[in-house]
Copies of this chain bind each other. A is one copy, B any other.
Amino acid sequence: MTTNNIIEQLKQKGLKVTPQRVAIYEAVIKLKKHPTAEKVIEYIKKNHPNISVGTVYKVLESLVENQLLKKVKNEKDVMRYDAITQHHHHLYCTDSERIEDFEDRELDRMIQEYFSRKKIKGFKVKEITLQITGEFKN
């Protein structure tokens, strides 16, 4: 995603385009691997040495609210952020903090088909994400 693209997206959401917002959004996209707020701060400080920690948290939060980012979390660590692209699942490593994306349209179709056939009583499903835990082989 280009910087112009990022600016365009912020505008579309009615967010003021500030250098901080652009940098933070760009950082999450560039860093991939679901960075924590801390990783984002570390990365951004290179070009924006004076950026405030609170700003990073606030901007991340507002990008999530505006559906430009998503939060990801497993049971053992702090909040992480993920750029919204296509719907995907997450592979969590049992032995480390590693998290990877996993996309599988066929799987999605199968699950979607399953739940359109078999409703959950008293619950309206909006989204299903698989938390796949296991081990990365080397």
Q: Is the CB of A130 within 8 A of B132?
A: no
Residues of B within 8 A of A75 (CB): 70-73, 79
Interface bits A113-128 vs B (CB < 8 Å: 1, else 0): 0100010101111111
Chain A: number of interface residues, binned into ranges: 35 or more
Does A135 sit within 8 A of B, measured CB to CB? yes
- Dominant SS among interface residues on chain A: strand
Alpha-carbon gap, A104 to B130, bound state (A): 15
Q: Is the CB of A127 within 8 A of B123?
A: no
Which A positions have Cβ atoms within 8 angstroms of B?
70-76, 79, 91, 94, 100, 102, 104, 106-107, 110-111, 114, 118, 120, 122-138
